[in-house]
Amino acid sequence: MILKGLPDIDGNKDACSRRARQQLDLILLAIEALDLGGSEAILIVAKELALTDIIKNRVQLWRLRGSNPLRRNSQRRPMKPLEAKALIAIICYIARRLTVILRQLLLVDQQLRDKGLQPDSNPRLNAYLERFRTHFRQRMNPRRAGVMAYDDDEKLNRLAISLLEQLLFCTGTAGEKRLWVSLFDGEV
C-alpha cells in the first residue's frame, strides 16, 4: 500500500536515474552516520513495513546501494523504481523516528553559523559530521569526479548538513511523495 501511493514517473519505467540512485544512497549514508545501528535499522524497518519481498536481506540491500556509481564497489545493475520506492518508504519511516535529532542538529548548525563558529564546537554535531565523512571516504570511489568535488572536510560537512535537511523534509506530510518527486526534479 505504501508503494502504490508514489506516482510512476514517465520515462523511468525500467530503471532509476543515476542521480536518484546517488541521492538515495547518500541519504542512507546520512542515516548510518546518525544512528550507529543504521544498517540494521534499515533491515528491521523493511520487515516492519512488509517490504522483505523487495529487500530480502543485507546482501540485497548492499546490491541496491551498490547501484550508486560513486561507490567503490559500484555495480552496473540498475535500480528498479519499485526498489527505489521501497527505499523511500524506509528512509521516511526512519526519518520520522529521528525527527527530534534532525531538528536539534540543524538548529545547532544554524546557531553555530550565525555566531561564526565551527561545527566542532558542538560535540553531537561534530560526531555526526565525523561519522559521515568517515563513511563517505570509506565507501565512495575517490577517482570519481562526483567524489572529487568533496575533497575537503568543509565540503563534506555541507553535504552532510544538506542531507539532514532532506531527511527532515521527509518527516512532513506526504514526505514519501515529496522525496520521490525530488529525486526526479529536473529530469522528467
pLDDT of residue 178: 86
Taking a C-beta distance cutoff of 8 angstroms, is the pair 30, 91 a contact? Answer: no
List the domain boundaries for the chain.
Answer: 15-173
pLDDT of residue 63: 86
pLDDT of residue 38: 76
Residue 12 C-alpha cell reads as: 523511468
pLDDT of residue 2: 59
pLDDT of residue 186: 54
- The alpha carbon of residue 43 and the mean position of all alpha carbons in its chain are separated, in whole angstroms, by 15
Residue 40 C-alpha cell reads as: 540494521
Residues in the chain, pLDDT under 50: 187-188
Report the predicted TM-score, pTM, of the whole model to 2 decimal places.
Answer: 0.89
DSSP string over the chain: -TGGGSPPPTT-SS---HHHHHHHHHHHHHHHHHSTTHHHHHHHHHHHTT-TTTS-SHHHHHHHHTT-TTBTT---PPPPHHHHHHHHHHHHHHHHHTHHHHHHHHHHHHHHHHHT--GGGSHHHHHHHHHHHHHHHHHB-TTSHHHHTT-SHHHHHHHHHHHHHHHHHHTSTTHHHHHHHHHTTTT-
Query: pLDDT per residue over 90-120, tens digit each?
Result: 999 999 999 999 999 999 999 999 999 988 8
pLDDT of residue 188: 41
